[in-house]
Structure formats: structure tokens, C-alpha cells
Structure 1
Amino acid sequence: MDKDKYFAETAFSDTDAVARYTEGPLRFVPGFADMQRMASLLLAERVPEDGRVLIVGAGGGLELRAFAEAQPSWCFDGVDPSAEMLALAEQTMGPLASRVHLHHGIIDIAPDGPFDAATCILTMHFVEREERRRMAAEIRTRLQPGAPFVAAHLSIPQSDGERAVWLSRYAAFAVGSGVESENANKAREAVDSQLSILTPEEDEAILRESGFSNVSLFYVGFAFRGWVAYA
């Protein structure tokens, strides 16, 4: 599934849903704020004080704001196929928006760089395996040698009914976070039928096939996983 097409046909082009977007990750993604903080720390291990960071799937602006607040001298380029989500990102950033260049489109529209780091958070599960590999490779070509790349998205074991178990836990966490049971189950059904969820082993293989090395798992939150790798 092409992310641009998916966004255009779903909530990411719906004004009301976009306005509520910033509430979603905190309710559906275990440890979301801490995962962002860990990502920022992983980037900071190698990004210079005046570093330039590429954010793929920047719509909403949550990680942009988190990274900009943590690192007051970094600047950012953010890419997203949803114009509505980019507008929300600008709003989310507030006065920090002056440090960000936003680009409407998929990875191909991103500047060539070279960037000191890149992230792709809660995005890659919107694209099929081959497009995911292409995205990762395009990100890799835009990075300085040795630059860190952080990716985090839905990634679950899928043999012997494990997929259903993990998606049920995904919904249960949302209910425990205050989401109505009916809405959590609808979200689970949409995730199961519309998203491209691979196994952790497949996700790690894609990073290696795209030219990244030293792929390391740094985050697990029920159905979500996050990795850091290096160009």
C-alpha cells in the first residue's frame, strides 16, 4: 500500500481526525513520550550541536517538537504526503517552526542532504515491504557516513495466531488509556486490515538490505518496536 494513497483516502486528510491526531499516539503507543526521548538521545550520540536531521513522516509534528525542545541548535527537514498533517505539524511546533523546513510528498521530495541523522516514527507500517525497503534506501543515501537512523512502528510476531494476540493487546492498551472499547476495537480492525505489519525479523532485514549496519532494538511497546541503525 502506497503511504501517499493511504493517507489521501483515510483519516490523514480528514480535518476533524487530523485535529485529534496528537491525542492518538499517547493512547495507542505504550511509552510513546519515552520512546521519543530515547530516540533523541540515540541521535545525540552522533549528531553535532548544529546538526541537521531528516524526519520522514513528519506530519503532526510530535517528534519534531520533542527533538527541537531537547536540542535547541538542531535544524530539521520534515517530509509527509499529507498537507493537512504538515499544517498540524507547523501548528504543533509553534515558535520552534522557524527551525523546520516542511516538504509535502514522499521520501523522493526530501533534500539530498547529507543529513546528520534521520527518523521515521509510526510511518513505515503504512507501506508494503518493497516500498518500505525503497524508503529506507532513499533515507540511507541522504545520510552522512555513520549517521544514526531511528525507525519505530508496528512490528509483531505472526506465527500460530500471534498476530491476533498482539493486536488484541494493542486494543487493550488503548482501552486502558481511556479509549472507548468500541473505538479501540475499530482501530484494531483497521490496523489488521489496512496496514502492512511485518515481523521484527523482516523489519531488521529491510534495514540491513537498505545499507544500514549495527541494527539494534532499543524499544518495545506491545505491538510497537523501535530500532537504531547507522549509515
Structure 2
Amino acid sequence: MKPFSDPQAVTRYAEGPPRLVPGFADLQRMVMLLLAERAPDDAQVLVLGAGGGLEIKAFAEAKAGWSFDGVDPSAAMIDLAKTTLGPLAARTQLHHGFIDSAPDGPFDAATCILTLHFVEREERLRTLREVRRRLKPGAPFAVAHFSFPQGSGERDLWLARYAAFAIASGVEPSQAENARAAIAAQLPILAPEDDEQLLRDAGFSGVDLFYAGFAFRGWVAYA
């Protein structure tokens, strides 16, 4: 899937997550609160998959003392993030690339929202290890993405539910079906227990599920 190289898709990006991800605004708020449990008032936060700027905007509005390093492989999405952030961009450094383009830190907290489901398993593990290496000891890391059971028939069922939620949120049925088919064919989605194990294999501890919304799951863990 290459939606973030399509100029029209990039322009419409901000419309997508609220209609496709159950409780999207609350997910962002929960992530902010989980980070704030341990992050100081002047925290430096690493945001992996920061294109579009939606989560940085939510965090920056809630926490006036936080500053951010955002990383994204799409130059167009980074440009959109700058527009989304407006004056808040003064507290943000945006980096074009993948995890290796992120500063070494050490950071007080990190997030990766709606991103890792694009990444193959081995590269996902490497990415998680590189995130942990950039965090201070005990720093929180919040992650959320597609994650649901992968047994016989379960993948199709959960993706059908994803499409049904999109339609109920106002997405045209044909568009929802096209998205479902593309996700089924192209995204390396894992089962929740596999996602949790990858976090542990990357060296994180205290892995806790904090969010479940139909086909999406979210965890907090600690470096």
C-alpha cells in the first residue's frame, strides 16, 4: 500500500483516522496520559510515523512543555504535519526517513501510532529495538495499530468488521471494500499475542494492553 505518496490521499489524510479507527481522539488522549505518568513536564518525545501531525498536535496542545522529534518516510506527509501543527511546529523537529533517521536521544517517551502494521515482522522487531535504544531507562512507549487474531476465518472476519465500522462512519461502501481488500492483500498484520511478544523481544517490560477497538489494539511498555 502506498497511500502516502498519493497527493489526494495525503490531502484527505486528516479525515481518515477518525472515521476508520474507533475512538481515535480518545486513543490519542489515552496515549498522552500514559506518557505523562512518567514523562517530565519538559519531556522530549519521539514520535515514529509522525506524518500528518495529528498525534503531535494533540500531545502539544495538552502538554505545553513537551518537545517532539517526529519521523516519517513520506515527505508529503511531513509537509502535511507542518501545516497541521502551525505554530506548534516550533516545538517539533521533523525527520524524513525511518527509525534510523531519528536522533539518538535519549528520549523521555515515544509513540508509534497506526504505523507498525505497514512493517514486516523482522523489520518491526528491529524498529522496536531501535526505539528502545533511544529511550531513557523506564521511559514509556505507546504503540497502536491493526492487530487481531489470525486463525482460520478470523482475519476475514475482523477485516469485515473494520469495513463495517468505516461504512457506519460515513465511508462509501465501495471505498471501504477497496480498503479492506488492499489491507488483506498487503499489510503484514500480526495476532495480538505476537505483537506483545515482539515488544518483549525488543527489550521492553511491563507490556500492557490499554486499547482495543475492533481491528486495532494498543499497548504501553517501558524501556
What's the TM-score once normalised by structure 2's chain length?
A: 0.99
Question: In the alignment, is residue 188 of structure 1 matched against residue 185 of structure 2?
Answer: no
Aligned residue in 2 for 1:70:
62
Letter in 2 for 1:27: R
For the residue of structure 2 that corresponds to 1:114, the secondary structure is coil
4+ residue runs over 6 A deviation: none
Give the Cα–Cα distance (whole angstroms) in 2 for the partners of residues 194 and 163 of structure 1. 13
The alignment partner of 1:48 has SS state of coil
The CA deviation at 1:65 is 0.3
| Matched pairs, number | 223
1:220 aligned partner: 212
Correspondence for 2:141 among 146, 149, 169: 149
Instruction: For residue 27 of structure 1, give the secondary structure of its aligned residue in structure 2.
Output: helix
Unaligned residue ranges in structure 1 (runs of 5+)? 1-5
Q: What is the CA–CA distance in structure 2 between the aligned matches of 1:187 and 1:221, rounded to whole Å?
A: 18
Deviation, structure 1 residue 88: 0.3
2:170 equivalent in structure 1: 178
1:132 partnered with 2:132:
no
For structure 2, list consecutive stretches of 5 or more residues without a partner in the other structure.
Answer: none
Q: Higher mean Cα deviation, 172-181 or 158-167?
A: 158-167
Distance 1:180 1:117 in 2: 38
What letter corresponds to residue 113 of structure 2 in structure 1?
I
TM-score when normalising by structure 1: 0.96
Hey, what's the Cα distance between the residues in 2 that align with 1:150 and 1:198?
17
> Which of these residues, 19, 24, 35, is aligned with residue 32 of structure 1?
24
Residue 88 (1) aligns with residue 80 (2): yes
Identity of aligned residues (%): 67
Report the CA distance between 1:160 and its aligned residue. Answer: 2.5
Question: Is 1:210–2:213 an aligned residue pair?
Answer: no
The Cα of 1:158 is off from its aligned counterpart by 1.3
